Structure 1
């Protein structure tokens, strides 16, 4: 699933193509509900921005398109007449201005909303602070981690809860916890505030660096992958063989270093095989 940094980059490209320009053609198709995007024809696009894993495209008539990519969706930007890199039947949304064509492929969620409804719209109103927001509040993220309903969650699950902080997915879960030396199977209640704040700060640094914003050390390039998709390979810090096990409601594999990320409560099924 594309994560907060990927959505930020998508939004930057879409904004560059559409902001300040009039929509000359618009169409959408299923599966699922099809928004009445014809209402956007002749309307100026105000801009595009990401909110966690959501992309919002706003228009001067008070409407906004919301897209959520889930696992397989993507956004492409083309010049008029340029060949598309995916089949037209996969297009969920097409927006055209004079000099660009913006296409969403395969997103399960494309919907047209009123901008004034965004603050109370459940998929957005319930989100935690966005890690890529320049005004991100780490103490608010800590407060949400400390919700009693999350006390018994593993940190590997809780860090991806978008109601705690928006933007972390499976990739940055792995890399954040490794850099913090935190075992992904530790329960939130067993982590002190300093450990949780270090997790928050590290996740934010990783996402910022990934999109070209300076992290806490002034580095602005995509970080190296230490553990993600590296089960069975030697740890790049200590040489210990990385292990993995299924975790979370979607039972995807989580990989960690037993030496760099020690902890109790690891599943007996942990192994050092490469994830499928």
Structure 2
């Protein structure tokens, strides 16, 4: 499933071709949404934003298109009249006079008025957005220590959209590795400096993934791996998807765990679990 950084980058690409533009034609592949086609044709796109893994396209007539890609949804951007070569099912087509934003395969789609947007179940359950520029690491450190979150394992918490919207599976592994923390730890077991370190790593990894197109390794490590002949698959992540390979910091073999039904990767040496709280590094 695309995570917050991927959805935000998709929103940026969509905004580049349709934000502020008048829609010459709107088509929906889902029968329940076709009643909106005539109403939205001729509307102007008034803004595009993301909330966690949801993408919202606002129109000047007061309606908003809500989409969530889930596992299989994908946006294609094309010159109008040019369709991608795909066997996927077209769900949304937003056409300007010159360009098209096309959503395939997603099924979690709705057209909402202002009141419905405020009450939409998925959106009302979201926590702060990982990529909100106003979110400071100190805010996140305090959130880690709130009663609703402080006694939950990091392995579970770092998939919870109510804790922080936009988190996902690769971000969970990469963030915990960057912070040097085993997924079994709970925030209540961590001292203040360690919670602060985790909060800073969370935002650093999330924003790095956004700016780099999903790469979470630091730039110097990426450059070294590229020079050594690694492909993107080899230099993108520090630990995620690298089970059985050496840790980039200490050389210990990375292990794969199943945590909350999802795969998680960690270095046994860099991310040990001990009965007492880990000391700040």
Q: Give 1:236's aligned residue.
A: 248
C-alpha separation in 2, matches of 1:144 and 1:35: 42
C-alpha separation in 2, matches of 1:252 and 1:68: 20
| RMSD of Structure 2 on Structure 1 (CA) | 2.5
C-alpha separation in 1, matches of 2:107 and 2:142: 31
Q: CA deviation at 1:23?
A: 1.2
C-alpha separation in 2, matches of 1:231 and 1:184: 16
- Find the residue that maps to 2:211 and give its secondary structure: coil
Q: Give 1:178's aligned residue.
A: 177
2:48–2:55 Cα contact (<8 Å) kept: yes
- Find the residue that maps to 2:16 and give its secondary structure: helix
**Gaps in structure 1 of 5+ consecutive residues:** 266-276
Q: CA deviation at 1:264?
A: 4.4
Q: Give 1:56's aligned residue.
A: 56
Q: Give 2:93's aligned residue.
A: 94
C-alpha separation in 1, matches of 2:135 and 2:148: 23
Quickly say closer, same or farther: Cα 1:103–1:243, change in 2 above 3 A. same
Quickly say closer, same or farther: Cα 1:35–1:227, change in 2 above 3 A. farther
1:128–1:165 Cα contact (<8 Å) kept: yes
- Find the residue that maps to 1:211 and give its secondary structure: helix
Q: TM-score, normalised by structure 1?
A: 0.84
- Find the residue that maps to 2:56 and give its secondary structure: strand
Q: Give 1:80's aligned residue.
A: 80
Q: Deviations over 1:60-116 (max 9, x none)?
A: 0010001111111111111012231323x5111111111111111111311001135
C-alpha separation in 1, matches of 2:140 and 2:34: 33
Question: Does 2:70 correspond to 1:70?
Answer: yes
Q: How many residue pairs align between the two structures?
A: 257
More helix by share: 2
Q: TM-score, normalised by structure 2?
A: 0.83
Q: Give 2:193's aligned residue.
A: 194
Q: CA deviation at 1:137?
A: 4.0
